[in-house]
Chain A
Amino acid sequence: MLTVLIYGAVTSAILAMLAVGFTLIFGVARILNLAHGAFYALGAYFAYTFTAILKLPLIVAAALSVALVALFGVAMERVLVRPLRQSSLAVLMITLVVALTTEQALFVAFGSQSKNVPAFVNFPIYLHGVSVDGQRLLALVIAVALIGALWLFIQRTRLGSAILAVSQDPEAAQYMGIPANRIFTIVMGLSAALAGAAGVIAAPFLSVRPTMDQTAMITAFSVVIVGGLGSIPGSILAALVIGYSQTIVAFYLNPEWTGTVSLVAILLTLVLRPSGLMGRAVGA
Chain B
Amino acid sequence: MRRIVPLVTSAVFAGTLAMSVQASAAGKPILIGLDTPIQLQVGKDTEAAVKMAVDEINAKGGVLGRKLEYVTADEGTDPQLGVSAINKLTSDDHVDVLIGGYDSGVTLAEEPHIARSKTIWLGVGSASPNITALVGKHYGQYKYIFRVNPLNSALQAKQIVDFAEHVVKGQLHRDKVAILGESAIWVRGLVPVLVKGLEAHGIKVTYQQLFDETMTDFTPLFARVKDSGAQFLLTILSHANSDVFVKQLYEARLPMPYGGIDVKSMTPNFCSRVNGAAVGETTVNFITRAPITDKTIAFWDDFVKINGRAPVYTAPGAYNSVYLYAWAVEKAGTTDADKVIRQLEKADYLGVGGKIKFSKVHDDIDGPGYQNLLFVQWQKDCTRQVVWPKAVATGKVTLPPWVGK
Contacts and interface: CB of A to CB of B under 8 A. Distances in A.
A/B: CB atoms within 8 Å of each other:
yes
A205 B251 contact: yes
A168 interface: no
Interface in A101-119: 107-108, 111-116, 118
B275 A118 contact: yes
Nearest to A3: B223
Contacts, number: 76
A270 B80 CA distance: 33
B273 interface: yes
Nearest to B224: A251
A23 to B, nearest CB: 22
A215 B210 CA distance: 19
Interface stretch (B16-24, B113-121, B242-250): B242-250
Interface string A259-280: 1000000000000000000000
Interface string B210-238: 11101111011101100000000000000
A74 B241 CA distance: 32
Given A124-B253, A207-B244, A247 B220 contact: yes
A206 interface: yes
Contacts of B221: 250, 255
Given A116-B274, A207-B244, A7 B214 contact: no
A206 B214 CA distance: 11
B41 A111 contact: yes
Nearest to B210: A256
A115 B273 contact: yes
Contact of B273 (A107, A112, A113, A258): A113
B394 interface: no
A282 B221 CA distance: 39
A65 interface: no
A236 B294 CA distance: 61
B383 interface: no
B193 to A, nearest CB: 20
B41 A112 contact: yes
B251 A133 contact: yes
B220 A251 contact: yes
A209 B244 CA distance: 11
Given A7-B220, A131-B252, A207-B243, A116 B212 contact: no
Nearest to A4: B220
B39 interface: yes
A95 interface: no
B41 A256 contact: no
A251 B40 CA distance: 33
User: Taking each of B183, B220, B223, B224, which has the highest tally of chain A beta carbons within 10 Å of its own beta carbon?
Assistant: B220
Given A7-B219, A205-B247, A112 B212 contact: no
B267 A259 contact: no
A259 B243 CA distance: 19
A114 B252 contact: no
A116 B243 CA distance: 8
Contacts of B241: 114, 207, 209
9 contacts: A3-B223, A108-B39, A113-B267, A113-B273, A116-B273, A133-B251, A207-B244, A255-B220, A256-B210
